[in-house]
Amino acid sequence: MSGFFALLAALLSGLALLGLFRATSLLRRILALNVLASALFLLLVTLAHTEAGLDPVPHAMVLTGIVVAVSTTAAALALILRATHSHHDESDP
């Protein structure tokens, strides 16, 4: 089972990297980064299944990671919005 989810994480991260490099719009790039983050979280949580039982440390890391990912997304979106807005103001005064 853990092998299946590790493979899924690998495929998702490959897909996300493909999307990240092929993206033409910045919004799509943010989506790709979020998918990449989800894939890495999936790998971490899959690796948390050990012989000795569930390891809570990767779970805590992923919880903090989700919150950091949403902060990064908000900051990046705000930057994109400001960039396009100032562009608009210059083009039609």
Partner 1 sequence: MSTFIIGFDLLLGAGLLWLAWQALFHPKPFAAVVHFMAFGLVMALVWVRLEALDIALAEAAIGTGVTGALLLAALGRLPNGATPRLALRPWQRPPVALALGVVLLLGLWLAWVAWQLPRPGLSAEVTAALPESGVRHPVTAVLLNLRALDTMLELAVMLGAVWLVWSLGPELRPYAPATALPGLPALTRLLHPLFLMVPAYLLWRGSHAPGGAFPAGAVLGAGGVLLLLADAVPWMQRPDRQPLLRLLLSTGLVLFLGLALGGLLLTGTFFAIPVAIAALAILVVEVAAALSIALMLMACYLYGEPGR
Binding to partner 1, residues 24-83 (CB under 8 A): 24-25, 27-28, 30-32, 34-35, 38, 41-43, 45-50, 52-57, 59-64, 66-75, 77-82
Q: How far is the CB of 61 from partner 1 (least distance, A)?
A: 7
CA separation, residue 68 to residues 16, 63, 87 (Å): 18, 9, 29
Nearest approach in angstroms of CB 48 to partner 1 is 7
How many residues make contact with partner 1 (CB under 8 A)? 72
- C-beta separation of 35 from 12 below 8 A: yes
Bridge partners of residue 54, in order along the sequence? 49
Q: Which is nearer to partner 1, 62 or 93 (CB)?
A: 62
CA atoms of 5 and 42, how far apart (whole Å): 7
> Quick one: 19 or 93, whose CB is closer to partner 1?
19
Q: Cα separation of 4 and 31, whole Å?
A: 24
Q: Does 90 bind partner 1 (CB under 8 A)?
A: no
